[in-house]
Chains A and B, each alone.
Chain A
């Protein structure tokens, strides 16, 4: 199976490639080549960084239109998930507009620290693309902004309030946490995505 990992100005995309290489039967490439991305069986849109400059970079490389036009399963990770949405409060950023949701800054009400950094548990919605045994399991998060709960939410996590930690709309899948850094649970989530 050919997996294209979109390579752009984002931090630590190498780890996503390594995680793919650990799975059997996966031929993963880190690339910004439109043709390679378009023809891949699965696409991963990773992301660590700041929303506004990342969107600018995507537009410059024409990757924004390319991502919108993809029809195979696409997995957004962390900032990649946030950028699939309409709008982010992070530096007032228009995002890709694929998921009709807003991305908000955490407002600690009970002394929570921002960023939300560390392991937190998943509450699965019924009937999602995730293996049911993942309910209640822990994954690794690093983020200050979150996607609100909405009709495309597949799992929530509680920090300051319940927010969307996994979602899906049509062929677009996304996780707020880093499955590539979430131990065996993360590996299962990557397998669940690759099985779509």
Chain B
């Protein structure tokens, strides 16, 4: 049976995990490879590594990181953060990344999605989109939600799909960090309007929130950061709960 996916997200700065959280028994909570391996053992279905470094050396450190993760991890992973060109992507894929995610650069230059899909295949290209509900409409936001655009969410994700994106990572900025649940209604609209998978992000606080986003929200995967890092929810407990609730998960 086809399973819904649980995806922890790790923020990376200068090759190190930030907000490493409450992982005890880790020799080095800042080591993304070790933390990733820990999540893999704990039952994570996939991992997302988001680089928040803002230096020129970024591309090189990110490629080294991708290589180290790929060497040690036996589940799929996506790497993203500041990817702007086909060359950026090529070096990551050659290092062993399974997918890359692009966000602001794709909004500024939508043909990047087409180029990347053409060069590497749709399965490599995850379009990440941050949106906020403003004046009765969901608008795409840039730079981690700081800059509002005039682009409505639904036409944008449709365009991304048409251009060859293989997956959508949708974050509601209104829900992110609230721990009050995912943006189920708009996630369902995104999911129903597309034929590619949708990863929902932003707002996870309880196990019920995951059930809701998989049922009401029609998401294919649920992504969260802090609740996993700080062990507020163990992935195995979450999966057992979901299974009891009739959601198909990999246990």
Contacts and interface: CB of A to CB of B under 8 A. Distances in A.
Pairing of A with B: yes
- Give the residue among B1, B2, B70 with the most A Cβ atoms within 10 A: B2
A183 B167 contact: no
Given A118-B5, A121-B1, A159-B2, A14 B94 contact: yes
A19 interface: yes
A109 to B, nearest CB: 13
Interface in B147-187: 166-167
A120 interface: yes
Contacts of A114: 195
A11 B120 contact: yes
Contacts of A49: 121
Given A113-B220, A117-B166, A118-B3, A15 B75 contact: no
Interface in B161-218: 166-167, 194-197
Interface in A61-119: 108, 112-119
Contact of A118 (B2, B96, B124): B2
Contact of A117 (B40, B96, B123): B123
Contacts of A187: 74
A22 B93 contact: no
A112 B250 CA distance: 18
Contacts of B1: 120-121, 158
B1 to A, nearest CB: 6
Contacts of B120: 11
Nearest to A158: B1
23 contacts: A11-B120, A11-B124, A12-B98, A15-B98, A18-B71, A112-B2, A113-B194, A113-B220, A114-B195, A115-B166, A116-B2, A117-B220, A118-B3, A118-B221, A120-B3, A138-B3, A140-B75, A142-B123, A181-B74, A181-B75, A181-B76, A183-B40, A187-B74
A105 to B, nearest CB: 13
Contact of B70 (A18, A108, A117): A18
Interface in B48-106: 67, 70-72, 74-76, 93-98
Contacts of A22: 72, 74
Given A14-B96, A113-B197, 14 more contacts: A11-B120, A15-B70, A18-B70, A18-B71, A21-B71, A22-B72, A48-B123, A108-B195, A112-B2, A115-B166, A118-B2, A181-B74, A181-B76, A182-B74
A176 B74 CA distance: 17
A113 B71 contact: no
A115 B122 contact: yes
Contacts of A184: 74
Interface string A112-150: 111111111100000000000000001010100000000
B74 A117 contact: no
A183 B121 contact: no
Main secondary structure of the interface of A (DSSP, over half): mixed
B45 interface: yes
B93 to A, nearest CB: 6
Contacts of B97: 12
Nearest to A14: B96
In this complex, the interface size class of chain B, counting residues with CB under 8 Å from chain A, is 20 to 34
A140 B123 contact: no
A11 B75 contact: no
B93 A11 contact: yes
A46 interface: no
A33 interface: no
A187 B45 CA distance: 15
A140 B73 CA distance: 14
Closest 4 CB pairs of A and B: A138-B250, A14-B96, A119-B250, A119-B3
Contact of B196 (A50, A113, A159): A113
Interface in A151-170: 158-159
Contacts of B196: 113, 115
Contacts of B197: 113, 117-118
Contacts of B167: 117
B5 A181 contact: no
A114 B72 CA distance: 29
A19 B75 CA distance: 11
